[in-house]
A = this chain, B = another copy of it.
Amino acid sequence: MKKTTQIFKALSDDTRLRILGLLVQGELCVCDLVAVLDLPQSTVSRHLAYLRNSGLVDGRRQGVWMHYRLAQQDGALHDDLIDLLSKDLARLEEIKSDQRKLRQYLSKKRTVKCC
């Protein structure tokens, strides 16, 4: 039960939903998220830690950079929720806006000194 409420707590915060709304598009590194969300790095890292502790995302280090992506295969409820988020988050205006910003950002990424 604690695991279940923990997952829902992880989804109860605007910033974390925004992060997930970007990660449903694919793996990203912290510097990408900071740039697109336009939030302090400590804020982004703190929320990523929360999502990881809740089992919703996995992190992988590549050199200095940490890449995060949605976690897979972690129980029925978890998988059902990931499916649900992939489908329903993109209906929210704020998420759509972030996703647009992400596309712009990725298209000019070579000009950015990040991963």
Listed in ascending order, the chain A residues whose CB lies under 8 Å from chain B are 1-2, 4-5, 8-9, 11-14, 17, 76-77, 80-81, 84, 87-88, 91-95
In the complex, A8→B5 CA distance in Å?
9
- A88 CB contacts on chain B under 8 angstroms: 76-77, 80
- A81 CB contacts on chain B under 8 angstroms: 84
Contact check, A76 vs B91: say whether CB atoms are below 8 A apart.
Answer: yes
Contact check, B94 vs A77: say whether CB atoms are below 8 A apart.
Answer: no
- A17 CB contacts on chain B under 8 angstroms: 1, 4-5
Contact check, A92 vs B1: say whether CB atoms are below 8 A apart.
Answer: yes
- A77 CB contacts on chain B under 8 angstroms: 84, 88, 91
- A12 CB contacts on chain B under 8 angstroms: 5, 8-9, 12
Contact check, A13 vs B4: say whether CB atoms are below 8 A apart.
Answer: no
